[in-house]
Amino acid sequence: MADEKPKEGVETENNDHMNLKVAGHDGSGVQFKMKRHTPLIAKDMEILIGLVPCRSMASKTPVGFIGLGNMGNPMAKNLMKHGYPLIIYDVFPDACKEFRDAGEQVVSSPADVAEKADRIITMLPTSINAIEAYSGANGILKKVKKGSLLIDSSTIDPAVSKELAKEVEKMGAVFMDAPVSGGVGAARSGNLTFMVGGVEDEFAAAQELLGCMGSNVVYCGAVGTGQAAKICNNMLLAISMIGTAEAMNLGIRLGLDPKLLAKILNMSSGRCWSSDTYTPVPGVMDGVPSANNYQGGFGTTLMAKDLGLAQDSATSTKSPILLGSLAHQIYRMMCAKGYSKKDFSSVFQFLREEETF
């Protein structure tokens, strides 16, 4: 889209109506307005300059990272690989050690992170943790600088995201929700998908950082819609996975060969990601958790958590989710019956158990 090499602070102008201003040598200051919900084409870009200087994007200034767990750890490392100095915090000091050893700065609270960095990424397990990190006694909001960009990649209730965004906005800063899709493997290889909600003008700024950690950064709309997109996808995923497991199990009991049935479904209207890419049935496909005793992949506990968020969102918006709700209960039960650490496709095994007398 922008052929000319941007220098620092250079402004490029397009004859028709596009203006691009690139404020950093890696393009980090590019800010452009997108037409809501349309794919990003060069033509849509406009210059947005307001926040750039105060967020010091002209050079790779430190980025705060809060939450260095299974996902946060490799994500932060990818930021390091792209040359960003980090300001690190985790409630478990051990989680920070690796980064301290690598020369990154470890501080003792989210507030301290906010004091030293004006771009911060949070990656936390639950809504409660996120609230604590932002609004707690030593939370980000205690010391957040005006104009800071706060990106929450936790998967939490969209209503909480909206709440946090309001508080952040009061402090003159910007909040975006950017939950990820893809597991630890994608986090390591920098191939996560980010679903981003927030003010559209800030998307490019977020994209600069998120692009270091993911191969796919999708703008979803206002704050909370990143969470919404993730929740909706995962709910549909859970439903079609259980559906695939039920259909395959029923077919096998009716005398069908599993591989043949999978083939038939995949060339018919029953086709779905769970049937054609991630089969829950051992012996049908290689390289998926079902081929490896349901090790690895996306854990049943995590799916149960995401379905809980879908449930909460559905209840608060009064949206009927009959299958989603039942899927939630099924994963809930699986967690209690020894499947918590297995991949969520183990629902096939759960349903498959034979009646004994």
Active-site amino acid positions: 230
Which residue from 300, 310, 305, 303 is spatially nearest to 337, judged by alpha carbons? 300
Q: Tell me which residue has tokens 């994608």.
A: 186
Question: Can you read off the two tokens belonging to residue 342?
Answer: 């297995």
Shortest distance in whole angstroms from residue 308 CB to its own copies? 5
H or E element in which residue 193 lies: strand 192-197
Contacts 24+ apart (CB under 8 A), 142-146: 142/111, 142/114, 143/111, 143/112, 143/114, 143/115, 144/114, 144/168, 144/171, 144/173, 145/54, 145/114, 145/115, 145/118, 145/173, 146/54, 146/171, 146/172, 146/173
Shortest distance in whole angstroms from residue 261 CB to its own copies? 6
Tell me how far CA of residue 83 lies from CA of 129, 212, 332, 351, in angstroms: 28, 10, 42, 48
Shortest distance in whole angstroms from residue 106 CB to its own copies? 28
DSSP calls for 147-169: T-EEEE-S---HHHHHHHHHHHH
Shortest distance in whole angstroms from residue 183 CB to its own copies? 11
Question: Can you read off the two tokens belonging to residue 24?
Answer: 């950093």
> For residues 144 and 310, which CB has a smaller minimum distance to its own copies in the complex?
310
> For residues 12 and 227, which CB has a smaller minimum distance to its own copies in the complex?
227
> For residues 54 and 250, which CB has a smaller minimum distance to its own copies in the complex?
250
> For residues 173 and 310, which CB has a smaller minimum distance to its own copies in the complex?
310
> For residues 103 and 255, which CB has a smaller minimum distance to its own copies in the complex?
255
Which DSSP category does 42 fall into? G
Question: Can you read off the two tokens belonging to residue 87?
Answer: 């300001």
Shortest distance in whole angstroms from residue 176 CB to its own copies? 14
AA letter at 346: S
Shortest distance in whole angstroms from residue 285 CB to its own copies? 15
> For residues 150 and 262, which CB has a smaller minimum distance to its own copies in the complex?
262
